[in-house]
Structure 1
């Protein structure tokens, strides 16, 4: 991807940011319309829960196989297909189809968003300054999740009908599809691999599945995703039920968590690069910040300190996911990178469902006060994972340096 012209690269990067914002927008909208769906289709929460099951299952499956599909179809065509699926998923909402057909819309949405997120992660990971760009990419997702509820509640307040929300979203996704077709830059290597290249690429996916570091990184992101979602989804209930915060104050504090996530992804990595802080050191600082913020929130739950704790938690967690994705090219050979990123994204999705579910079980049987010690335990697990990964990455870096020196010496001889 280094052969992209400056103009083409900027258009493609801008398109990736726009696409991630739209995916975030759809996530933010999804939570708001649940009540409308329940009233329109006359179904309870248990039935509505099946929508999330098929959404995340299809998302995980499409992410898992994005690597081999990108090798076979090319990244540009894969993203066109993913965006088309995302757009097609809106049709069921717009037409207000029967509930059984709406499940199909959620399947298409999961497949499409899985391809879009994984595909653009692969795209950005191949560019210079990928760590900063990946932070910006995921920051735009959070921006989308912030504006999604505002868009949805605004349309519902005007009594235009919940399906109109998806008319607006579909028009925005149509622009995304047009941009992907006409403006997404395609690296020369992806425009038509030779037969020899194709034969060497076929076992790439199987090669990734045997890489221990890939699976360890994927589990690291699984735990991270669980921490982020648990804090955002259960934090409000924790503040209201355990510490008797008012609904308005609790809402503002959780918004502070989202603000921390957004600012952290825009600001922390560029600041670390200016100060020449290594990725390994920065990750330790971030995990330490998360531990400190949880201790503040748990042990000193007084007014503004709680708000500071949640905001600090968002700031600390913000760069972890994109930084881990950016490390993939250092963990595996170049030809394995797309498949490795697909595995990481796919496995991390499990953290969005399993770990919040466990938090809910603890809350039901022991009380919501368990949220903070539960999150603290998960962050300590993150620290243990990173301690091991950091050592392995250091060993890989030394080995790669030795190989480069050896090759230069051989060339000199």
Structure 2
């Protein structure tokens, strides 16, 4: 296999690991809770530790990438993933378990923008980014199945993390071998201009970075809110059958992955901007169908449409960044976008839950429509021209 194709295949493999880890967490969580005899409030600290680690890594990945180069940066992220999963797999005392999840969050926060930044540097990056994030969806689908199979065989919840550690070791070897000359090619091909100062600080001084980051905050907030609360909405608010409602929610996540595969090349044909505008319109239409037509087949079709249209938005926004910010700031910009999206993935589902608690689960759909409206406003405010100068 030619080197670039092997590197791309390894990036896809690494995203499967990340997706599998995220998707399987909900399956192993009850077993972890039973093992440590912890209540829900205490076990919720695992979410906090992972998020803190992710945010810490996201806000430091720009300077780290500047110092280490892409090869060592990706190896560092994979090494952190190995340390995190290795610590967790030993089932240590709970405080050390929190440390393991924090380190795992750091590792994912480095791999995520690091691989996104690498793919954006390649030709036909929009399609490749859609495929990259589609493989995350494949991992998120396979992770719960694998975790359930391991638990059903009484191998223990730590067996899941031993599996992630083993796969991560393969990824580390792959990054060490296949990406060993990436730094040299990066310097010779891109001819990046030299600039002084902290690259993250320079990226944060650009208005376009904040607009794109807020856009993805609302995007991931809508995506995760619908994924987390749709089942409760269908079963409690609409009194739907449990099995059928679960299938409808699975269809939503399937649509998300399908959209990234089917529409992977659409951005190249009609432009990323036009694609995202059409996708936002499709999201609003799907939400309206679910809201105003309380009939389960229509709800299934509506949520499938919402997932399908949401799918290509995140990778398409990432693909736009090299054309909107100076090349040296692209990794820091992508890292900041990833961190803000993580904030949206935590904050918006919490707000949706509070609205459901005080006003009712019917608020989920208008809440998601409001988030979609905020995305559209931010999208229209994004500049259409690339950045011309490096901030000093």
Q: TM-score, normalised by structure 2?
A: 0.95
Tell whether 2:299 aligns with 1:303.
Answer: no
**Residue in 2 aligned with 1:406?**
none
Q: CA deviation at 1:192?
A: 10
* Shift in CA distance, 203/167, structure 1 to aligned 2, threshold 3 Å: closer
Query: C-alpha separation between the residues in 2 aligned to 1:204 and 1:96?
Result: 38
Maintained 8 Å contact 2:113/2:338: yes
Cα-to-partner distance string for 1:190-245 (whole Å, 9 max, x where unaligned): 5799xx98962544332111101101100000000000000111111111001111
Maintained 8 Å contact 2:192/2:328: no
Of residues 145, 149, 163, the one that matches 2:144 is: 149
Maintained 8 Å contact 1:256/1:310: yes
Tell whether 2:275 aligns with 1:290.
Answer: no
CA RMSD of aligned residues (A): 2.0
Tell whether 2:384 aligns with 1:388.
Answer: no
Q: CA deviation at 1:267?
A: 1.1
**Residue in 2 aligned with 1:188?**
184
**Residue in 2 aligned with 1:67?**
62
Tell whether 2:222 aligns with 1:227.
Answer: yes
Tell whether 2:310 aligns with 1:317.
Answer: yes
Query: C-alpha separation between the residues in 2 aligned to 1:201 and 1:261?
Result: 40
5+ long unaligned stretches in structure 1: 1-5, 404-413
Q: CA deviation at 1:344?
A: 1.0
**Residue in 2 aligned with 1:91?**
86
Q: CA deviation at 1:388?
A: 1.4
Of residues 320, 324, 333, the one that matches 1:331 is: 324
**Residue in 1 aligned with 2:29?**
34
The DSSP-based 3-state class of the residue aligned with 1:74 is helix
5+ long unaligned stretches in structure 2: none
1:14-413 pair list within 5 angstroms: 14-184=9-179, 186-188=182-184, 190=186, 200=195, 202-273=197-268, 276-389=269-382, 392-393=383-384, 396=385
Larger radius of gyration: 1
Q: CA deviation at 1:327?
A: 0.6
Q: CA deviation at 1:382?
A: 0.8
Cα-to-partner distance string for 1:323-364 (whole Å, 9 max, x where unaligned): 101111111111111111111111111001011100011011
Maintained 8 Å contact 1:121/1:325: yes
Q: CA deviation at 1:154?
A: 0.8
**Residue in 2 aligned with 1:407?**
none
The DSSP-based 3-state class of the residue aligned with 2:2 is helix
Aligned residue pair count: 387
Cα-to-partner distance string for 1:298-333 (whole Å, 9 max, x where unaligned): 111212111110110000100110010111111111
Query: C-alpha separation between the residues in 2 aligned to 1:209 and 1:306?
Result: 40
Q: TM-score, normalised by structure 1?
A: 0.90
